[in-house]
Amino acid sequence: MSKRLLRWIDVWMADRLRPGEGGDIEPYAARAERIAMELIAEARAGGFRSDEIEDVQGRLVGLITTYLATKPAFDISGFGAAPPDD
């Protein structure tokens, strides 16, 4: 398995996807399939070899689905409210 490609996939997902986003209109699995096709096309254009892509391709939909289903941590400071004093 290509560690170089896996690192590239992590960066690609962090740049283009938000954890917990989507799933309302398009199910996570269908969205992950579509995103995987985009990712593979960009990986080929980026110069990754076919054997590197084939090694990761079986796990790719699972990686993307997990990334999309992860809920981001709630940050109360984004709402301008101070946390309660204990």
Stretch 9-27: mean pLDDT = 75
pLDDT tens digits, residue range 29-82? 788 888 999 999 999 999 999 998 998 988 898 888 888 777 665 555 556 656
Burial (CB count <10 Å: 0-12, 13-18, 19+), residue 16: exposed
Which ranges of 1-86 does DSSP label H, i.e. alpha helix?
3-16, 28-45, 50-69
Distances (CA, A) of 12 to 27, 42, 59: 21, 9, 15
Which residues are within 8 A (CB) of 45 and not within 5 positions of it... i.e. 6 or more apart?
none
Percent over 70 (pLDDT), the chain: 70
